[in-house]
A = this chain, B = another copy of it.
Amino acid sequence: MMRALFLGRFQPFHCGHLKMIRDIAKDAEYLVIAMGSAQYSHTLENPFTAGERYTMISRSLSNEGIENYHIVTIEDLHRYAAWVAHVVSQSPKFDCVYAHNPLSIRLFKEGGFQVVELDLFEPERYSGTEIRRRIMEGEEWRNLVPGEVAIVIDEINGEKRLLDLASK
């Protein structure tokens, strides 16, 4: 039975991620959820810390009753030729990779892994970029993330953080 790796930055974790994870986890012995750019936070591209993103994911999956997963945090080394080895070293063993970022797909293919290129689910809505834009412009975003994620963002006063960072 397959051990899968699912790659993302999860800024924030959203319903598109959840749907994909639900589908993959069904067929997997377990799913390693690898959170990239783990050292970054408090920017418009990467507003949330690794710990906050970890909490978003674990609460959402707990709420869904999904249990066969592991979360690992992956710091970006900016040395892409060594990146696959780095991810492998930080993760429980996996033999199949699910990704949609072109760089990740390419690197894992060159590394000899079986890669499933994910079709994003309604990417114009379910994307971190879109959700961050909506938060910053005061539009509705809560319907795009699992309820647990909205709670985390409220607990850390995340809307205010993004608005502050975007202020000039």
Contacts and interface: CB of A to CB of B under 8 A. Distances in A.
Contact of A42 (B55, B75, B103): B103
Binding site secondary structure of chain A? helix
Nearest to A88: B51
Copies of this protein chain in the complex: 6
A164 B86 contact: no
Q: Which 4 A-B pairs have the closest CB atoms?
A: A81-B89, A85-B85, A42-B80, A82-B82
24 contacts: A39-B79, A40-B79, A42-B106, A42-B107, A43-B103, A49-B81, A49-B90, A51-B88, A51-B89, A51-B90, A54-B70, A70-B71, A79-B82, A79-B86, A79-B89, A81-B86, A81-B88, A82-B82, A84-B85, A85-B85, A85-B86, A102-B167, A103-B165, A106-B161
